[in-house]
Chains A and B, each alone.
Chain A
Amino acid sequence: MRSRTLTLFACLGVLGGSSLACKRRDTLPPVVFTPLDEAGDASTVHDAPAWPVPARAQLDNQALVYWQHEPESPGFHVRLLLPTTMPNGEILRAVDVLLAARTLESRLAATLERRAVEVALSFAPGRIEVVLSGPNASFRAALARLAVVAGTVPTDKERARGQGRAVKDYRVPRAVDVATVDVIARLIQRPPSSELIGREELFSTERRVDWRTFTDPRRAVLIVHTGLPADEGTELLAALAAKWPASRGDEESLTALQRLRPAWPEPVGSRTMLVESNVAPLHVVAPNVDVARGSPTLVLGRIIPTPTAVERAQARLAQRIVQEALDARLEFSGPFAVFLVRVPLLHSDSKRAVDRALADLGELAQTEHTRGRLTQAARLWLGARLVAQSLDGEDWTALWSESMDLSRTDVEIPHALAREAETMLAITPDVLSAWMREWMDPQNGQGGWTWSVAGVDDAARNALAELAKLEASEWPP
């Protein structure tokens, strides 16, 4: 399950903008699977799934399907991915995304939970993911229900049920959430108030996403992990396509990443640092939502370009090294990643906490770590990912989703995790050291840092004013 922090990214997306004239037919059009690439099965690498390359098909309704066949699997996983940017370029607000997602979830769960199918939601940069998991006996029913739910507009009652789920699970954001959203919004140039959900807008009954556009199969990617071979699933998919029509418009075939990858804004060329010279202003957040009482938190972050697999592996390994000392996070979306460090201000001396965090970060960036330490950090990350996936149900579609964020093209996706594992384990201390000095040193490396703080009182504010110029960050509604 992706971090809630990245609910923010749910509002980003890019869509090629296509339309399809939908024709009713008496017979189901055939579903033709084509190989994703000719490279064959993903290489067997320890600490990465050794799965066969999936078969791919574009259905008659333009939905893109990846079919992962695991022989003798007793169950299935089906993952529907939808972008959170509408075809007209409108980036949905987080609240709209959540309400639509919860409506999808509740409509599916109403029927499928009786058949022992679990329905779950996941959020990733620029997209939502609805996951159905269950025993093989329920596979057909799951696909049939998915088609109905995606292909029909929910009734008011169904929307209300979805809203009820969202309200039930709502948690008042804490200072750390607010500061994190503020930093990310600045980095990706989005209004922060669109990225965090307030209680009032959650209760509003006026918010409605254009359902048919939101679930348009031309925007959708479906990943299936099942014991059924692809050629035995064509009839099921053809029936799914028939019940889930596309909106009218031009026909265009887009890859999975073209449908789902958010449009990253070009970095604005900021040279701001966090220590000594050209220090970025520290934004003191005054959000327009209720914030839970609790400790204040400062969050600092930056965008890191990760155009190649090697740089993505370096970024991940660097984050794992930093995480041994600090609360450091990294989230990829293909050619870019967002790097964050959270600094809880638990003690009365807020400045000292921040000074220490910055000093630690700088020292970690400047240190050439031993080969043993790098290997240990890489193995821990790679192993923990696999073990977590095993405990969560051994869902190949979840790993596929993660692989998408590590890839530039669809062809790279099946091999992305194995490539990441190989690359991480091959990184040498001097290479990583050079990379960290450039991208993780808040004093001497590349500029482009920003930071925000939330939940501080006047005393902490005065102390932090010694670090940087304070600027109020007020969120307009």
Chain B
Amino acid sequence: MGAPPTDASSTDFPSTELPPTNAASTDAASNDTQPIEPATGSELTVRPRLAPGETAAVEERLPSGLRVVIVRDDTLPVAAVVLAIGTGTHDDPHEYPGLVQALAYHLLAGNYELRPGAALAAVHDVGGFATLAVGAAQVRFESLVPVSSLERVLWVESQRLRAPTVNRNLWLKSLAYAHDERGRQPVVPRSAWAAAWADPGLAHDGHDLGRAVLEKLRAMNDRQISAQLARLFAYDRATLIVVAPGEPQGWATKIRPLFADLPRASRGPSTVSAVPPSTANLRNVPVAGGDGQRFVWPVPARPGAGVWAKVFCDVLNRQKRTREEPPKLRVHCAVDEEPLRQVVLVRVHGADDPVAALEQRLVRLGTGRDLRNLDRRRAHRLRHLHYDLRLPLTMASWLAQVEPPWPAVPASDDPASSLVPLRALTGESSLEAMTSWSLVDAGFTLPNAWRLVEPATAEAQP
């Protein structure tokens, strides 16, 4: 069944184009745009090959555009299923913050195959566990069920986005549920977050359905709601992840027919999490209370990049103050793990020139004791990553939040063609391959950063 076209006649409801994924720097005075140097793992833009004896996962793209990832886990007869859609609150139209959250809840209301609540009942009635996560750049439907019910749940996911039922009563119920969901707050001011990602959609809180917004959303008619659902929630911008006992190729042959009747994808896969290109110089972003002591970097969703960001923070937080540095200098680093929109925030206290102080700290990361610490922390995080991903739901959720730089192959009759090393998908391979100098390649340099300053300061300093 084809997706209904966007209704251009809904004049009360302006359509919103997706923000460009590689927006130019908002620093208007800088015309020097330099693309980010690829990380040491640049060979990973090519699809990795499976070595003998290596644990494999299935990764393929169906004709409908749906990306499918299947991993084997035999520990218990349970299966984790995650349907992750590359749509988030950053896609909210400017006048309707909160729309994506409301629509995500509305997808629980069913369609012509699923009665309201049936998708959840398919999980709960067999003792399973289900969650819905609405993020800035991703919506995820997650479930964990006994493997005896996996086929039923896969069928539910194959129906979930098709022509959802839209009527006023169901819409009002969805709004009530969405209103109760507060979401998480970013560790950086939203304007800084938006600047770092060149994504204006991040500047608002898409989880806060205030009274004025609720009234507008309530006033939407069925055609408007259907049009937005079709535009934003489609299989060609989704990934289905399955972690289950048994051969992954076996599950792949069961999954493909479920989506075979969907129309072929009309657009190529989007890279929602591509980091904007850097410039020659540190950029400023005006925020209320900006004191010039905070610096933000975007972190791409490449496999391993998020863990590498944590390694960066681990070492930065453990650096000892040198005699040349101001006596009260403190540097603190934290990672905000919003899926597909991660950032690193570094605070520099006690320095007259925070930029110079931070620059010195970054230079030190590549030398001496800090260099050795980088390797130690990298090894430590790598060991724990392997352990942390032992549970099927954790693994499925993790895989939903990474975007490999290589293309997924079209599903074919050759089972071997769709196999990739699991360690490449989880990021363990790239973490092993990276050297300490990759820190620079990974983008943690000042030209890639945004400095939070007072609005007056930003105006004075182009």
List A residues at the B interface (Cβ < 8 Å): 46-50, 70, 72-75, 116, 134-137, 376, 379-387, 389-391, 393-394, 396
Residues A383 and B75 in contact, CB atoms below 8 Å apart: no
Most buried by A among B147, B387, B393: B387
Given A47-B146, A47-B148, A49-B77, residue A74 in contact with residue B387 (CB < 8 A) = yes
Per the bound structure, the CA–CA distance linking A172 and B144 in Å amounts to 35
Does B38 sit at the interface, judged by CB under 8 A? no
Residues A46 and B387 in contact, CB atoms below 8 Å apart: no
Does B126 sit at the interface, judged by CB under 8 A? yes
4 nearest A-B pairs in the assembled complex, by CB-CB distance: A384-B127, A383-B127, A135-B387, A46-B148
Given A46-B148, A379-B127, residue A386 in contact with residue B77 (CB < 8 A) = yes
Residues A383 and B76 in contact, CB atoms below 8 Å apart: no
Chain B residues 381-437 with CB under 8 Å of chain A are 383-384, 386-387, 389-393
Q: List 29 A-B contacts (CB under 8 A).
A: A46-B146, A47-B146, A49-B77, A50-B74, A70-B75, A72-B55, A73-B75, A74-B387, A75-B387, A135-B384, A135-B387, A379-B125, A379-B126, A379-B146, A379-B148, A382-B127, A383-B127, A383-B128, A383-B148, A386-B77, A386-B78, A387-B127, A387-B129, A387-B146, A390-B392, A391-B129, A391-B393, A393-B391, A394-B76
Residues B146 and A382 in contact, CB atoms below 8 Å apart: yes
Chain B residues 44-99 with CB under 8 Å of chain A are 55, 74-78
What count of chain B residues pass the 8 Å CB interface test? Answer: 26
Taking the nearest CB of chain A, how far is it from the CB of B428, in angstroms? 11
Chain B residues 239-283 with CB under 8 Å of chain A are none
Residues B78 and A74 in contact, CB atoms below 8 Å apart: no
Per the bound structure, the CA–CA distance linking A387 and B149 in Å amounts to 12
Residues A137 and B127 in contact, CB atoms below 8 Å apart: no
User: Which residues on A sit within 8 Å (CB–CB) of B55?
Assistant: 72
Residues B387 and A48 in contact, CB atoms below 8 Å apart: no
- A137, A376, A384: the one within 8 Å of B383 (CB): A137
Taking the nearest CB of chain B, how far is it from the CB of A365, in angstroms? 24
Residues B390 and A390 in contact, CB atoms below 8 Å apart: no
User: Which residues on A sit within 8 Å (CB–CB) of B148?
Assistant: 46-47, 379, 383
Taking the nearest CB of chain B, how far is it from the CB of A132, in angstroms? 14
User: Which residues on A sit within 8 Å (CB–CB) of B147?
Assistant: 46
Per the bound structure, the CA–CA distance linking A385 and B384 in Å amounts to 27
- A47, A73, A116, A385: the one within 8 Å of B390 (CB): A73
Residues B75 and A394 in contact, CB atoms below 8 Å apart: yes
User: Which residues on A sit within 8 Å (CB–CB) of B146?
Assistant: 46-47, 379, 382-383, 386-387
Per the bound structure, the CA–CA distance linking A48 and B78 in Å amounts to 9
Residue on A nearest B387 in the bound complex, by CB = A135
Does B145 sit at the interface, judged by CB under 8 A? yes
User: Which residues on A sit within 8 Å (CB–CB) of B392?
Assistant: 390
Residues B390 and A386 in contact, CB atoms below 8 Å apart: no
Per the bound structure, the CA–CA distance linking A418 and B380 in Å amounts to 38
With contacts A47-B148, A50-B77, A396-B75 known, what are 11 further pairs, Cβ within 8 A?
A: A46-B147, A48-B77, A73-B75, A74-B390, A75-B390, A116-B387, A136-B387, A382-B127, A386-B76, A386-B146, A391-B144
Most buried by A among B75, B126, B145, B390: B75
Given A73-B75, A75-B390, residue A387 in contact with residue B144 (CB < 8 A) = yes
Taking the nearest CB of chain A, how far is it from the CB of B118, in angstroms? 15
Per the bound structure, the CA–CA distance linking A29 and B144 in Å amounts to 45
- A46, A74, A382, A389: the one within 8 Å of B386 (CB): A74
Most buried by B among A74, A75, A393: A74
Taking the nearest CB of chain B, how far is it from the CB of A310, in angstroms? 22
Taking the nearest CB of chain B, how far is it from the CB of A48, in angstroms? 7
Per the bound structure, the CA–CA distance linking A384 and B144 in Å amounts to 10
Chain B residues 145-169 with CB under 8 Å of chain A are 145-149
Residues A116 and B77 in contact, CB atoms below 8 Å apart: no
Interface bits B106-147 vs A (CB < 8 Å: 1, else 0)? 000000000000000000011111000000000000001111
Given A74-B386, A135-B383, A382-B127, residue A390 in contact with residue B76 (CB < 8 A) = yes
User: Which residues on A sit within 8 Å (CB–CB) of B386?
Assistant: 74, 135
Residue on B nearest A133 in the bound complex, by CB = B387
User: Which residues on A sit within 8 Å (CB–CB) of B126?
Assistant: 379-380, 383
User: Which residues on B sit within 8 Å (CB–CB) of A376?
Assistant: 125
User: Which residues on A sit within 8 Å (CB–CB) of B390?
Assistant: 73-75, 394
- B74, B76, B125, B144: the one within 8 Å of A380 (CB): B125
- A75, A135, A381, A390: the one within 8 Å of B78 (CB): A390
Interface bits B365-391 vs A (CB < 8 Å: 1, else 0)? 000000000000000000110110111
Per the bound structure, the CA–CA distance linking A381 and B148 in Å amounts to 13
User: Which residues on B sit within 8 Å (CB–CB) of A48?
Assistant: 77
Taking the nearest CB of chain A, how far is it from the CB of B122, in angstroms? 12
Per the bound structure, the CA–CA distance linking A187 and B410 in Å amounts to 65
Residues A390 and B391 in contact, CB atoms below 8 Å apart: yes
Residues B128 and A394 in contact, CB atoms below 8 Å apart: no
User: Which residues on A sit within 8 Å (CB–CB) of B125?
Assistant: 376, 379-380
Taking the nearest CB of chain A, how far is it from the CB of B396, in angstroms? 11
Per the bound structure, the CA–CA distance linking A316 and B75 in Å amounts to 25
- A134, A135, A380: the one within 8 Å of B127 (CB): A380
Most buried by A among B74, B76, B147, B390: B76
Taking the nearest CB of chain A, how far is it from the CB of B142, in angstroms? 12
Per the bound structure, the CA–CA distance linking A74 and B393 in Å amounts to 16
Per the bound structure, the CA–CA distance linking A46 and B77 in Å amounts to 7
Residues A386 and B127 in contact, CB atoms below 8 Å apart: yes
Per the bound structure, the CA–CA distance linking A376 and B391 in Å amounts to 26
Residues A381 and B127 in contact, CB atoms below 8 Å apart: yes
User: Which residues on A sit within 8 Å (CB–CB) of B384?
Assistant: 116, 135
Taking the nearest CB of chain A, how far is it from the CB of B400, in angstroms? 17
Per the bound structure, the CA–CA distance linking A73 and B389 in Å amounts to 11
Residue on A nearest B392 in the bound complex, by CB = A390
Per the bound structure, the CA–CA distance linking A70 and B74 in Å amounts to 9
Residues B387 and A387 in contact, CB atoms below 8 Å apart: no
Per the bound structure, the CA–CA distance linking A289 and B386 in Å amounts to 48
Per the bound structure, the CA–CA distance linking A379 and B124 in Å amounts to 11
User: Which residues on B sit within 8 Å (CB–CB) of A383?
Assistant: 126-128, 145-146, 148-149
Taking the nearest CB of chain B, how far is it from the CB of A41, in angstroms? 13
Residues B391 and A394 in contact, CB atoms below 8 Å apart: yes
Given A135-B383, A382-B127, A390-B144, residue A49 in contact with residue B76 (CB < 8 A) = yes
Per the bound structure, the CA–CA distance linking A313 and B171 in Å amounts to 44
Per the bound structure, the CA–CA distance linking A46 and B146 in Å amounts to 8
Per the bound structure, the CA–CA distance linking A49 and B145 in Å amounts to 14
Residue on B nearest A396 in the bound complex, by CB = B75
Residues B76 and A385 in contact, CB atoms below 8 Å apart: no
User: Which residues on B sit within 8 Å (CB–CB) of A134?
Assistant: 387
Per the bound structure, the CA–CA distance linking A75 and B391 in Å amounts to 11
Taking the nearest CB of chain B, how far is it from the CB of A416, in angstroms? 16
Most buried by A among B126, B145, B384: B126
Residue on A nearest B129 in the bound complex, by CB = A387
